[in-house]
């Protein structure tokens, strides 16, 4: 997701609870930009209404999916920003339900549709009753947001967190190397491509700071590095020598996050998963060799 990381959002006493959402939405975000461009272009017909309602439904579903990822949030402050946006979404959903009732009313006023009168006592509920219930639900949602949004967002934003979130790509690589070294002593090497502190995170063409990590396991040499704005792991055995003497790779493992300042444990976990899968594949192939040998005997 091409979202630019910036300094942590601010929420002082003078900033309303929805300020975190507003600050985050202002950062470079292709999805938000696309919606804002459509809004600026103007929305005046049913195609616009249907498109926006469907986009909202898609993004609401995608939010559930994003949040369900094991590493969906690193800090309470991440949670505060998401909560701020979710409360804004809830309030807009209430507005949309109320607006739906008014829009249907306009169709009826033009004489282009008929709306049955609200059901009387003993009659089953109809469309008029349903629209009225949705309007009442909107009032309930406004009340919930008014009562809980500020408390929730402010408490999360103020909560101390201890996640070792790196400040730049170099810190990420170094922290991953340290974590891997804890797990596999003596086989992990951090290869530095610059002097200490001699890396400007703003001067980054997608290849991070140039440092990488080699991991030697069972005769295979892995290399963890940043390239093309993502984190990758290559195996030396996949390297192809070119006529110019350099080594190229036509296959590699891509880590689950492209975030330059990813949680080191997330990346270390991805790497260890690849190492474990390779190890079990090697054991599997040794196992089948044994079977072949047994058959020959
Ligand atoms: Zn570095």
Query: Using one digit for the tens of pLDDT, what is the confidence trace for 13-40?
Result: 889 999 999 999 998 789 999 999 999 9
Band of residue 132 on the pLDDT scale cut at 50, 70, 90: confident
Residue 186 Cα to ligand 1 midpoint, Å, equals 20
Alpha carbon distance 295, 297 (integer Å)? 5
- The pTM of this model reads 0.84
Band of residue 295 on the pLDDT scale cut at 50, 70, 90: very low
Name 239's bridge partners: 249
Residues in Cβ contact with 169 at an 8 Å cutoff, skipping those fewer than 6 apart: 199, 201, 204, 208, 209, 226, 260, 261
Q: Which residue has the higher pLDDT, 252 or 119?
A: 252
Band of residue 282 on the pLDDT scale cut at 50, 70, 90: confident
Band of residue 9 on the pLDDT scale cut at 50, 70, 90: low
Alpha carbon distance 234, 270 (integer Å)? 13
Residues in Cβ contact with 266 at an 8 Å cutoff, skipping those fewer than 6 apart: 71, 256, 257
Helical segments of 27-168, H only: 30-41, 46-67, 76-109, 127-158
Q: Which helix (H) or strand (E) holds 226?
A: strand 220-227
Q: Which residue has the higher pLDDT, 33 or 184?
A: 33
Given a contact cutoff of 8 angstroms between Cβ atoms, the answer to whether 4 and 28 are in contact is yes
So what's the pLDDT on residue 198? 82
Alpha carbon distance 211, 181 (integer Å)? 16
So what's the pLDDT on residue 294? 42
Which of these, 20, 25, 29, lies nearest to 84 by C-alpha position? 20
Residue 172 Cα to ligand 1 midpoint, Å, equals 9
Residue 196 Cα to ligand 1 midpoint, Å, equals 8
Alpha carbon distance 236, 220 (integer Å)? 7
Residue 6 Cα to ligand 1 midpoint, Å, equals 20
Residue 242 Cα to ligand 1 midpoint, Å, equals 27
Residue 173 Cα to ligand 1 midpoint, Å, equals 7
Indicate the DSSP class of residue 165: -
Q: Is 2 a residue whose pLDDT tops 90? A: no
What are the domain boundaries of the chain? 19-158, 169-296
Alpha carbon distance 254, 244 (integer Å)? 26
Residues in Cβ contact with 264 at an 8 Å cutoff, skipping those fewer than 6 apart: 164, 166, 172, 175, 176, 178, 179
Report the greatest alpha carbon distance in the chain. 90
- Percent of the chain residues topping a pLDDT of 70: 92
Q: Is 52 a residue whose pLDDT tops 70? A: yes
Q: Is 297 a residue whose pLDDT tops 80? A: no
């Amino acid at each position: 997701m091409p979202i630019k990381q910036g300094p942590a959002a601010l929420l002082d006493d003078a900033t309303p609870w929805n300020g975190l959402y507003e600050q985050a939405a202002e950062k470079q975000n292709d999805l938000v930009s696309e919606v804002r461009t459509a809004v600026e272009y103007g929305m005046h017909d049913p195609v616009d209404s249907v498109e926006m309602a469907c986009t909202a439904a898609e993004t609401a579903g995608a939010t559930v999916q994003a949040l369900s990822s094991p590493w969906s949030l690193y800090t309470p402050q991440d949670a505060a920003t998401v909560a701020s946006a979710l409360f804004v979404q809830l309030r807009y959903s209430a507005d949309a339900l109320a607006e739906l009732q008014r829009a249907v009313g306009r169709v009826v006023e033009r004489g282009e549709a008929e709306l049955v009168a609200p059901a009387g006592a003993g009659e089953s509920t109809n469309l008029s009753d349903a629209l009225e219930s949705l309007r009442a639900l909107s009032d309930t949602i406004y009340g919930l947001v008014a009562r809980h949004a500020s408390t929730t967002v402010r408490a999360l934003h103020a909560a101390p967190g201890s996640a070792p979130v790196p400040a730049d790509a170099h810190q990420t690589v170094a922290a991953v190397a340290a974590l891997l070294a804890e797990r596999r002593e003596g086989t992990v090497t951090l290869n530095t491509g610059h002097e200490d502190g001699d890396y400007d995170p703003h001067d980054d063409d997608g290849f991070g700071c140039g440092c990488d990590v080699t991991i030697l396991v069972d005769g295979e040499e892995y290399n963890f590095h940043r390239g093309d704005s993502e984190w990758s792991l290559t195996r030396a055995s996949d390297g192809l020598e070119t006529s110019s003497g350099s080594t190229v790779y036509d296959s590699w493992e891509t880590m689950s996050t492209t975030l330059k300042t990813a949680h080191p444990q997330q990346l270390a976990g991805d790497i260890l998963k690849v190492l474990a899968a390779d190890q079990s594949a090697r054991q599997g192939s040794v196992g089948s060799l044994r079977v072949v040998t047994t058959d020959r005997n």
